[in-house]
Chains A and B, each alone.
With several copies, the nearest count.
Chain A
């Protein structure tokens, strides 16, 4: 990986970049993998009052180590409350109470639309992906949605094979406001809504980003440079890792 400095991985850079964007007290709707790393890193560093909600029904979970699945017992034990799944998706998510939702995806298009359903044709897919899960309503009803995925020409596509999640939905939230990749960050243009590369990691160039994108990428005139992870951030992130032999594969 051209962007990975010897002391941290691309995933660590992504988790750190996302974590920095969370303010203290932010209420987050979190999935497993990078989003969970980012939200828990924020909680362990500058945002101790961040509230983590997992779709399994745990509100205010405070795991000491990263959960291995979305319904991990650690989440229930450390949560302020455990509610049913129907309640999480009604009173809490569609009720419009969440500040930031996190999503992954297999594909994203310039409008921030996401595909997590199939690669290829729906009826005869090349790759059958897991499906929608909570994504469509997360993007519609959280005030903001952060997407985290690796930037490649196969993932950043002109047109998604299947539109699972609308990037700028008509719901109560702003939709996708930030895409965190292994090269930097993209944000939607205030007028057109098209994703613009606004921040780049150390040693990443605008040309690197264009090469990794399946459309004619807009790059900000003077993209901000993202500071590499600090020692404090890396220590905190690594302290969250599950015990050896139980690595989370995200």
Chain B
């Protein structure tokens, strides 16, 4: 059963140096507040997992939290490159970053397998691409048709972190709108941390809602605005101007560090 905890305490208890950590949220409901708390607490040697690493992963990588990145598409959506990710890969700054990359279909299959207790998931893909040489994927043969498909290993993070609109007092969580792989990130992880916009007396059923029972979650943390500068459907819009500004801020190492010091490290709340 989920404990309702302050975010700082939850990150301290759940996220350890060297852990495999997945922060999910497909453009929508990206758990920035939790990611910033991981940065503030100075976690190191993390294996960061995420289908679509974007600005929050650029920040984690640039601040030296990550040893490895498991991903399928890493960019600033609609803007361009992630300069801190590129600097780590291209110039080992602030340290080398190991990559394990998949296609979206492969990552989604890995999460699906992890949530299902299966050791692997399947994709009809990878064949003929150079990805095969640079990632964890193996051909398996269908015993009925002889067709070769690709097996991708289950994703089983130590900690899964997502942001949702609402929790109730018992720690049950509901999110709605675009739900990405958030359910899978929680169910595939050994420990799960969910930040929420608000705690409400009753979670009213809604169209497109994903419900996560409190007994699948380790800690629920109240973090209003915790997805900014991404958005929370029904609460606030995406701060598109921020994503454009990030392109400037993140190009230069010093400017990046100054910005992070001012807006993340020395603050107790997430920048807007």
**A residues at B contact (CB < 8 Å):** 25, 27, 32-33, 51, 55-60, 68-73, 75-76, 80-82, 84-86, 88-91, 93-97, 117, 122, 124-128, 130-137, 140-141, 162-166, 169-172, 242, 245-246, 248-250
Contacts and interface: CB of A to CB of B under 8 A. Distances in A.
Interface string B178-193: 1111011001000000
A125 B134 CA distance: 14
B39 to A, nearest CB: 22
Nearest to A140: B125
A162 B131 CA distance: 8
B90 interface: yes
14 contacts: A32-B78, A55-B104, A71-B27, A84-B181, A85-B104, A85-B181, A89-B104, A131-B71, A132-B101, A132-B104, A136-B103, A136-B126, A164-B129, A165-B129
B142 interface: no
Contacts, number: 205
Given A73-B28, A85-B181, 20 more contacts: A56-B28, A73-B178, A76-B177, A76-B178, A81-B211, A84-B179, A85-B104, A86-B109, A95-B117, A117-B131, A126-B90, A130-B81, A132-B131, A133-B72, A135-B103, A136-B105, A136-B126, A172-B117, A246-B240, A249-B244
A33 B78 contact: yes
Contact of B130 (A58, A71, A164): A164
A131 B105 contact: no
B179 A81 contact: no
A174 to B, nearest CB: 15
Contact of A134 (B103, B111, B124, B210): B103
B233 interface: yes
What size tier do the contact residues of chain B reach? 35 or more
A246 B241 contact: yes
Contacts of B231: 73
B124 A137 contact: yes
B241 to A, nearest CB: 7
B111 A86 contact: yes
Contacts of B26: 56-57, 70-71, 85
A97 B187 CA distance: 9
Considering residues B102, B117, B184, B210, which has the most beta carbons from chain A within 10 angstroms of its beta carbon?
A: B117
A155 B69 CA distance: 27
Interface string B234-246: 0001101101100
A131 B116 contact: no
B105 A164 contact: no
A16 to B, nearest CB: 21
Contacts of A94: 105, 116-118, 123-125
A55 B107 CA distance: 13
B80 A249 contact: yes
Given A84-B179, A133-B72, A97 B216 contact: yes
Interface in B98-140: 101-105, 108-109, 111-112, 115-118, 123-131, 134
B116 A133 contact: no
A80 B104 contact: no
A89 B74 contact: no
B178 A137 contact: no
- Please list the 3 inter-chain residue pairs (A to B) with the smallest Cβ-Cβ separation, ordered nearest first: A71-B27, A133-B73, A81-B211
Given A94-B105, A137-B124, A70 B85 contact: no
Contact of B180 (A57, A73, A163): A57
A91 B128 contact: no
